[in-house]
Structure 1
Amino acid sequence: MFAVLGTIEFTVAGGITGMEQTGSADWAEHARIQGKPLLEWIGEGLDEINLTIELHPLLGDPAERLRLLREAKSRHEPLALVMGSGEYIGPYVVTRVSNTIRRATAVGQVVASTVQVGLREYTGAFTRKVVRQGLLDPALGGASAIGSPGLLSSMVPIPSATQLAIGHAKSAGNVLRAGKSLYEAVKGGNPSMILGQVPQLLGVTARAIEPLQGLSTVAGLLDDGADLSRLGDDVLGNVMGSRSSLDPVDLSNIVDRFAASRESLDKAVTVMGSASKRLAGLAAEVLTRRA
């Protein structure tokens, strides 16, 4: 979980790629005879946040996700913005939703696009609505100490470190296999076609970052998890290498850059697959209630 705005959840695996925060101060300028103007501080300006989100079927239904954002803007209501760590940023209103279409079908159905969501601080009367009980307190141990921040239900038991490690590994493995399939589908295209697929390629690799980071963190807390922690770091390094090979790219270098990116992703899939027996052993321990 990266952040929650009202009831709208944003995750790295779901395509959020950027968050820009802007603060300002208001100053009045007074003209002076035969001298430079004098500035007088009036007050603090409203904070603004701009979110960048990649929409693609592999990251969720693009039309549905765009609809939720537009509805949030149309309701004209302040919404609580909470980071995944549990930090309450404050109430914000959605002032702008722009959608840049990257790819569409012949009948105009959006396949991939980049959405910019503009948020502005709300300073009026606001009562924060708690949609789900049990907002994680960063001061507590448990899940916050093992890299699983977010909104947790007080009715749901906190999973063990072993269960979290298995969950992160499965999520990462699923994403990496989906990424490999996408690369296989793209590799036969011409340079122009491959270049047009770069946002999708970056999007699918972005989804692997969060679970791999979680795997490295959680596995490091296990008595015998040092190997899995290193594995998570190694796979993450290959994923980041795959992403960096595609930034920047143009028609003159896309073929070579794509080949290098694909090679790095293949290494990530191979390394992740090498842990299958190890993970199966952990799963057996959970099933027998030993972990």
Structure 2
Amino acid sequence: MFAILGDIEFTVAGGISGMEWRSSADWAEHARIRGKPLLEWVGEGLDEYNLTIELHPLLGDPQVRLHALRQAKSSHQPLALVMGSGEYLGPYVVTDLSQATRRATANGHTQAATLQVSLREYTGAFTRKVNRPGVIDPSSSSTAQQKDGSPSLISRLTPSPSTTQQVLGHAKTATNVLKAGQNVYDAVKSGNPSMILGQVPQLLGVTARAIEPLQGFKAFAGLLEDGADLSRLGDDVLGNVLGARGSLNPVDLGNIVDRFTASHESLTQAMGKLDSAGPRLAGLAAQVLTRRA
């Protein structure tokens, strides 16, 4: 997760592609006779964040995601802004939403668009809501899960996965995502430049989905006593995936074929490197099965 605003999650795999921070200070200017004006500090200005989010069905339902942000704006309530690292930035309000639609269906549903979200710091009274493990979240009382008798709670008795299991889980997820990505690339490569250009949001989506599991793979592998090689592997594969994304931004009709070829090659290299770790990961899986990890 990249960040969360209230209950709205922003993830790289979900299309967030940029975050801009702006901070200011207020200074009063006083005119002086026969001299330059004098500045006097009045106070600090409000911090602002501007998020850029790509909307596409492969990155999540565009209508649902847009509706959530519209609700956050129209509620006129401050929401806690927390980074994925756990850093609490404070309460913020949604002050502006703008959408640039690039593709839509015949009945007006968004297929591809870029969304700009402006957040502004709120300095009034605010109580941050914190969900505690082991306690049912009251906001989930009307969900289908609870109606089925499965309340949304985190049990303190549920054992946490071991570090080795985390490594294997992230590796499996990343492998599945990359294989799906290869299929998309293979389907697109036979098209003409105009068609390939139109599929760029989809291609960015499939590569974005691989970033989070690869970051998790790299991080947990680094915690293993003998996981330095896997951590380096995760870093290399992640570099290839980021290279595949970078090759597609920016693109136009004149360079799309060359950029697509470079992106496809980077993704193929990522898949090859991850495949090469098969025997190593199988050894870790054996340790888990024999309860040694």
CA distance in 1, matches of 2:254, 2:68: 39
SS at match of 2:216: helix
Q: 1:277 to 1:104 in 2, by over 3 A?
A: farther
Q: Contact 1:7 / 1:131 at 8 angstroms: preserved in 2? A: no
Which deviates the most, 125-134 or 73-82?
A: 125-134
Alignment match, 2:139 = none
Alignment match, 2:195 = 193
CA distance in 2, matches of 1:197, 1:212: 24
Alignment match, 1:182 = 184
Corresponding letter in the other structure for 2:98: S
Which deviates the most, 275-284 or 172-181?
A: 275-284
Unpaired runs of 5+ residues, structure 2, are: 135-152
Deviation at 1:196, TM superposition (A): 2.6
Alignment match, 1:37 = 37
Alignment match, 2:233 = 231
Deviation at 1:158, TM superposition (A): 3.4
CA distance in 2, matches of 1:248, 1:20: 19
Alignment match, 1:109 = 109
Alignment match, 2:86 = 86
SS at match of 2:214: helix
Q: 1:104 to 1:154 in 2, by over 3 A?
A: same
Corresponding letter in the other structure for 2:109: Q
1:125-164 → structure 2 map (5 Å cutoff): 125-133=125-133, 155=156, 156-164=158-166
Counting aligned pairs with the same residue, the percent is 75
Unpaired runs of 5+ residues, structure 1, are: 135-151
Alignment match, 1:205 = 207
CA distance in 2, matches of 1:53, 1:133: 30
Q: 1:13 to 1:23 in 2, by over 3 A?
A: same
Q: 1:105 to 1:273 in 2, by over 3 A?
A: farther
The normalised TM-score by structure 1 is: 0.86
CA distance in 1, matches of 2:104, 2:222: 43
SS at match of 2:254: coil
Runs of 4+ in 1 over 4 A off after TM superposition: none
Corresponding letter in the other structure for 1:43: G
SS at match of 1:248: coil
Alignment match, 2:72 = 72
Alignment match, 1:274 = 276
Alignment match, 1:63 = 63
Per-residue deviation, residues 201-249 of structure 1 (Å, max 9, x unmatched): 2232122122212212211222332332232122112212212322332
Which deviates the most, 195-204 or 121-130?
A: 195-204
Tell me how large the CA RMSD over aligned residues is: 2.1
**How many residues are aligned here?**
274
CA distance in 1, matches of 2:58, 2:172: 17
Alignment match, 2:18 = 18
Alignment match, 2:149 = none
